[in-house]
Amino acid sequence: MFIYSLPLFFTDIGFISQFDLLFISIALFVALFIASFFAEKNTQKKSLDNYLFSAWYGEIELKWVFWPFFLILNVCFYVADTLAKSGTLTVSAWDDVYFILCLPVIWWAVSIWRCSENTSLGIWAACARFLTFAVFAEYGLKLLIRVDYPRLFFECDELLLDYGSCF
């Protein structure tokens, strides 16, 4: 996450400074950490029967919902962005990758929010919720880059078939 988009955001777009983003991130994390104290803690071992359904209803431990999808999602983001920056992946194919991942990200965010009470420490719930906000911020940043600054991100010289998407 943010491997290609955040440097581009600070160097070429520059809506806010790095210090401002750090301040906003720390404030959001502190708010989520304080909110985790008011959530009911549930550390019972749950079964992994019907994983998707159980995760949606918050019946699984947080680590079993957070880590598998977070790792797969970041690998998909990295591969799609690397291929798009090198000119191997067209702009519309890059759009398709992010669009296809949109519904699983929504499922994951709801599952994280519901399963975050299934951890022994509040810091892990706050970290997981903070990273779900970061994923949505990444989506927003990629949308901004795609709509307003495609020539900065994509290799538009290499894209013969999809050159109209770079304008």
Mean pLDDT for all residues in the chain: 85
Residue 45 above 60 pLDDT?
A: no
Q: State yes or no: pLDDT of 43 exceeds 60.
A: no
Residue 166 reports pLDDT greater than 80: no
User: 153-165 pLDDT, tens per residue?
Assistant: 877 665 455 555 6
What are the pLDDT digits (tens) for 104-143? 999 999 999 999 888 888 899 999 999 999 999 999 999 9
Answer whether 165's CB lies under 8 Å from 91's CB: yes
- Answer yes or no: pTM beyond 0.75: yes
Residue 60, C-beta contacts closer than 8 angstroms, at least 6 positions apart: 46, 48, 51, 54, 111, 115, 118
